[in-house]
Structure 1
Amino acid sequence: MSSGCVSGTDRRAWAGSCSHPAGCHTGDLPVLASATVGARFWLLIEHSGPWASHLEDCRLPEEIHALIRRAQNLGIRPQLIRRPGHRKPVTGGIHVMVADATAPEPWIAEGVIAGPSDLDMDALVAGVVPESCILVSEPVFLVCTHAKRNACCARIGLPLARSLAEVLPDRIWETSHVGGDRYAANLVCLPHGLYYGSMSQAAAIAAVDAYRSGEVILDRFRGRAGIPEPSQAAEHFVRAHTGELSVGGVAVESSRSDGVTTEVLVRGGDARFRVVVEPMTLTTPCGTACAETVTTYRLVTLDRLTPVRYATPALA
C-alpha cells in the first residue's frame, strides 16, 4: 500500500491541490497498517521554511541539502521541522535530532552541528548515538503541516500543532511530509515511530498522553513505522484481541507471504498468536484529490499458540 496521496499520477502537478471538505478527515476512513515502512532511522533538521513540495526542491543551505542526500543514501528518513507558528530563521549552527525507531530500546538524541561532517550517520544506522548528539529522555511529536505537498496537511495540521504546543511547547514540532496525506492530520510519536492519522485535537491529546505513559491508543492508530504493512496489521489485530496497549507489549516475531495473504507470528503479552491478514480496497466517501480508494487489511484468522516461555534463572 502506498503511503502517498495519489498513485499513478505526477505528484508535483497536483501537490497542494486537495479540495477535500473538512468532513473527509474525521477518522471514518480506516487508517490501520498505513505507517511509512521505510522509516527505521530518522533525521530531523530544524528549518523554518518555506518548504517546497519535495525536499530536494526546497531553498535550503547547501549543508542541509548535503545532510538530506547522505541520509537518503543510507536509508535514513529526513524530515524538516520547525516550531509551531515560528518562522524566524535558525541561527547558530544546524539543530538536528536523530532516532532509531526499531532498536530493542528505541532512542532519540539531539545536537547542534556546524556542518554535515559533524554528524556521524553511519553510527546511527549501526544503532549507535552519534558523538555530536546527546540522548534525550522525553519523546518528540511531529505534526505534518506540509502545505505544498497537500493542502489538507496545513489546513488541519497547523491548528493541531499549535494547540498541542500550548500543552507541550518543547516537544511538538511541525514537520514536512511524513507519508499518507489522505490521513491528515498526521501525528508521529518518536522515538518509536508510532503513526496516528485523521487526528482531531482531542484524539491527538489522548494519543500524546498515552505515548508519554508508554501506551498506544488504537483509535486512529496507523501503526509503527519501519515494519511491513501486513505486520502492522497483525500487531493491530492482536492488540484489539488481547487489550494489550503497552508500546512494547506486542511485537512481530516472523512472517511469510503466500500470494496476497500474509501469516504473521506475533508476541502479545504472555502469549504468541498466529495471525493471517490480507489486503482489501475500499472506496473513500469523498473521492477527491487525496484518494478515491484506500487499501487496508482485514483479519482472516487469529489463533492463540503456546504461552511465551521465559528462561528461569539458574540457581546458585
Structure 2
Amino acid sequence: MTEDRARGCDHLAGCHSGAVPAHASATVGARFWLLIEHTGPWESHLPDCDLPEDVHALIGRATELGVRPQLIRRPGRRTATAIPRHVMVADTTARVPWAAEGRFEDVRDLDLGSLVRGVVPESCILVKEPVFLVCTHAKRNACCARLGLPLARVLGESQPGRVWETTHVGGDRYAANLVCLPHGLYYGSMSQAAAIAAANAYRRGEVVLDRFRGRAGIPEPSQAAEHFVRAHTGELSVGGVAVESTRSDGDVTEAIVRHGDVRFRVVVERTVFAPCGMACAETIMTYRRAALELLQCGTPALT
C-alpha cells in the first residue's frame, strides 16, 4: 500500500461518511457481469494480476463484449483457488434479472455470447439466492480495504454463503461499496449495520434509499429520476418504479417514470455538490430534482 493511497483514504473521509449525495452514481457500463473466483493477490488493474492464461483470455473477451469482469473471493482466510474454477455471470437489466454459476477446467469454455444475448450459458445453472459483492480492492484504493474488509466479514456472517469480496466496482469515494446481484443495486458509504439492513431488504425485494447509489447498467439521469420518484412516493420495492422514456438537453434530463398504474414527469439537472468545508480534491457531481409532477392518464411518452 503506497503512502498516497493511504493518505487518500483520510483525505476523502467526508465522502465516506454519507455526507456526500450517493444517488445516481451506480456504474452505468455494468449491465452484464462476469465474476471469477480468485483468492489473490489482486493488482490495481485486472490485466496486471497474476492469473492463468485462460482467465486473462476470458477477461479480455468479456471486455470486448461489454461484460464487466470482477475477481471475487470469500471473506476471511485465504485458501488456494480451486480447479475447476468457480465462475458466475449475471444480467442485471433483463426483464427478470438473473445470475448463474458454473465450474470450468478452462474458463474459455464459458459462452459469453449467450450472456450478452440474455441467455444462461451452457454448463451454468441459475442462482436462486442473492449475491452480495463488497469491494475490498486495496491496491485500487486504500479505503476499499480499510472499510470494505470488516464489512465483508460481518455481512458474510449475516448472509452465510452469499457474500464475496470483489475488485473495483466503481466509485471509490463511496467506500465501503456494496453491490446486490442480480439486480445490480449499488450502495455506498456503508456501515456494517447499514449493509446488513440493505441485504435484508434486498432479500425481501426492497431497496433502502439511505446511501442507495442506484441501479447499474442504466444512465445516471434515469437513476436520479427513479430515486426522486421513490423519495416522493415512498415506493421501496425493487421493481416498483421504472423510467419509460427520457429526453436530454445538456445537463437537464426530462424523464417519464412509471410507478404502479401512474406516471410521473421528472426533470433532473446535473450539478456540482460542494459543501462548505468538504475536503475532497475531486469535483463531486450529483443530480438535483428540478421538477416532479403526476401525469394524467393517457399522457404520451417522450419521443
Fold shared per TM-score above 0.5: yes
Decide whether the 8 Å contact of 1:282 with 1:295 is kept in 2: yes
Rounded to whole Å, the distance in 1 between the matches of 2:26 and 2:137 is 17
Which aligned pairs between 1:56-205 and structure 2 lie closer than 5 A? 56-205=47-196
Q: Could you say which residue in structure 1 is the equivalent of 2:260?
A: 269
| Superposed displacement of residue 287, structure 1 | 2.5
Decide whether the 8 Å contact of 1:287 with 1:293 is kept in 2: no
Rounded to whole Å, the distance in 2 between the matches of 1:69 and 1:17 is 32
The answer to whether 1:293 aligns with 2:280 is no
Decide whether the 8 Å contact of 1:15 with 1:53 is kept in 2: no
Decide whether the 8 Å contact of 1:274 with 1:305 is kept in 2: yes
Rounded to whole Å, the distance in 1 between the matches of 2:199 and 2:68 is 22
- Structure 1 runs, 4 residues or longer, greater than 6 Å off: none
Stretches of structure 1 lacking an aligned partner (at least 5 in a row)? 1-11, 310-316
Match 2:292 to one of 284, 302, 313:
302
Partner SS for 1:18: helix
Q: Could you say which residue in structure 2 is the equivalent of 1:27?
A: 18
Structure 1 vs Structure 2: percent identity of aligned residues? 70
The answer to whether 1:218 aligns with 2:198 is no
- How many residues align? The count is 296
| Superposed displacement of residue 283, structure 1 | 2.6
Rounded to whole Å, the distance in 2 between the matches of 1:35 and 1:136 is 23
Partner SS for 2:113: helix
Q: Could you say which residue in structure 1 is the equivalent of 2:45?
A: 54
- Higher mean C-alpha deviation, range 18-27 or range 150-159: 18-27
Rounded to whole Å, the distance in 2 between the matches of 1:298 and 1:150 is 28
Rounded to whole Å, the distance in 2 between the matches of 1:86 and 1:112 is 22
Rounded to whole Å, the distance in 1 between the matches of 2:297 and 2:146 is 47
Output one character per residue of 1:217-270: Cα deviation in whole Å (capped at 9) or x when no partner: 100000000000000000000000111110011111111111211011111122
| Superposed displacement of residue 286, structure 1 | 4.4
Rounded to whole Å, the distance in 2 between the matches of 1:308 and 1:111 is 46
Rounded to whole Å, the distance in 1 between the matches of 2:77 and 2:164 is 10
Match 2:200 to one of 209, 227, 234:
209
Cα distance, 1:218–1:293 mapped onto 2, change above 3 Å: same
Stretches of structure 2 lacking an aligned partner (at least 5 in a row)? none
Output one character per residue of 1:115-139: Cα deviation in whole Å (capped at 9) or x when no partner: 1332010000000000110001100
| Superposed displacement of residue 91, structure 1 | 1.7
Cα distance, 1:268–1:61 mapped onto 2, change above 3 Å: same
Q: Could you say which residue in structure 1 is the equivalent of 2:34?
A: 43
Partner SS for 2:54: helix
Decide whether the 8 Å contact of 2:39 with 2:81 is kept in 1: yes
